[in-house]
Amino acid sequence: MRTAHSVVQIRAAEAALMATVPDGTLMDRAATGLATACVDFLGGAYGADVVIVAGSGANGGDALYAGARLARRGARVAAILLDPGKAHAGGLAALRSAGGHVVPEDEREDAVARADLVLDGIVGIGGKPGLRPEAAAVMELVERYDVPVVAVDVPSGIDVDTGETPEPHVRAAVTVTFGTHKVGLLVDPGASAAGVVHLVDIGLGPYLPDPVVESLQASDVAALLPAPDRTSHKYTRGVLGVVAGSDQYTGAAVLAVSGALGGPLGMVRYVGPDEPARLVRARWPEVVAGEGRVQAWVVGSGLGDAPERAEDVARALADDVPVLVDADGLRHVLARCEGEVLLTPHEGELARMLEVERSNVTARRLHYACEAADRWNATVLLKGATTVVASPNGRVRVNSVGTPWVATAGSGDVLSGICGALLAGGLSPLDAGSVGCFLHETAGVLASRGGPIVAEDIAAALPDAYRYVRAAEGT
């Protein structure tokens, strides 16, 4: 599992660790890991042109010490010092000793233009969102000449604790982070600015408290997946009730049921209008149509905007079983929820629920997912490139596995079925949401193979996704 901590937590852990090791140990570990990652990215150091953009703090020091290591391996390393009088003295001396040099101000553009790689050592976890004018001017050159950036710990200018990017910031191809992941590296829009994230172990582990954000990996998902045993039957494996579709949106019913049948449950009951019911049973003859006992409900996909469908949502929420509410059903969640409830909005739906602009939700995904979880006393799965799953008790998970090809009509209907199946199988809303997202995105990756797909392709690939994650656990 990937875990991310707040700046306050990281600072405390660093202080505790530094009290047990010689001065400079942490910076040495960070610089070594950073230099190694740069060599991997470049495919070798010898003959490469590397430009360091160094601020005045320890982040700049990490970059300068890493630059010294690259210079000793044959790279041509130059440093742009944003505040020469406050540059990290030890790092600068090491760089010069290894053959690196400082770029005069009037030669900065030439240095950037011929660079193979730029190291962003402007500011670390202590920085505020945005870049100061001089740093912004240098990074504009970097973007103009399309030079790949390796960010040191975090892309300078993002909000480290939220992933928000209200001001201009660095966009990295790779971020080499130290000790633990930072929240802003896992949550969009900061996660998109970070590129590929590489974690360097500097020994913080024993000193870190519970994380602020978690991100499941395949082995974690495998450990959470419900699995039948020799005594299982269709009822003990879970029965899911699906209330989806309308005469206008018949496909939503078929896709939600398809996602559910790709899950670990034993039976699906479909409750809805005649025409969607006919299509569901034609596609899936094993589905039972009509009311009956269930272990969880999925309600909402394709209900349409008819006021009478509010009763469908109310009945599901009044039943004493876990409930997932999606899409049109979210219009009818008006009060704080009781019991185990999972809400699955996209940004536009969450904006409507919270009565804010969609652009606000896009810019502050973590904030609004947590606000909604608290307001409705429900776990909220905010869909997106990095899905946020926030529970009302404060636990948060994000999912960054996936492919842009899953952004296709009906994909969310399939997701609701998957997560509902996991609720019926006994998982909590937090686990069902985060495991369901992982399976959904993994199925999308397997189905697409880098090319276009439709929602049915995702549902069809779910068994392969299950096999993939279970193989990670060796089961």
**Which residues define the annotated binding site?**
58-62, 120, 124-130, 153, 156, 252, 302, 346, 383-387, 412-413
* Amino acid letter, 327: A
Closest Cα partner for 59 from 143, 186, 150?
Answer: 150
Residues facing residue 77 across a β-bridge: 50
Distance CA 464, CA 195 (A): 27
Q: Which whole-number Å values give the CA distances from 175 to 29, 91, 170, 185, in the listed order?
A: 16, 20, 11, 8
Per-residue 3-state assignment (H helix, E strand, C coil) for the chain: CEEEECHHHHHHHHHHHHCCCCCCHHHHHHHHHHHHHHHHHHCCCCCCEEEEEECCCHHHHHHHHHHHHHHHCCCEEEEEECCHHHCCHHHHHHHHHCCCEECCHHHHHHHHHCCCEEEEECCCCCCCCCCCHHHHHHHHHHHHCCCCEEEECCCCCCCCCCCCCCCCCCCCCEEEEECCEEHHHHCCCHHHHHCEEEEECCCCHHHCCCCCEEECCHHHHHHHCCCCCCCCCCCCCCEEEEECCCCCCHHHHHHHHHHHHCCCCCEEEECCCHHHHHHHHHHCCCCEECCCCCCEEEECCCCCCCHHHHHHHHHHHHCCCCEEEEHHHHHHCCCCCCCCEEEECCHHHHHHHHCCCHHHHHHCHHHHHHHHHHHHCCEEEECCCCEEEECCCCCEEEECCCCHHHCCCCHHHHHHHHHHHHHHCCCCHHHHHHHHHHHHHHHHHHHHCCCCCCHHHHHHCHHHHHHHHHHHHCC
* Binding site members for K(+): 59, 120, 156
For residue 433, give both structure tokens. Answer: 């949401």
* Binding site members for (6S)-NADPHX: 58-62, 124-130, 153, 252, 302, 346, 413
Distance CA 350, CA 10 (A): 31
Distance CA 110, CA 442 (A): 44
Question: Residue length, the chain?
Answer: 475
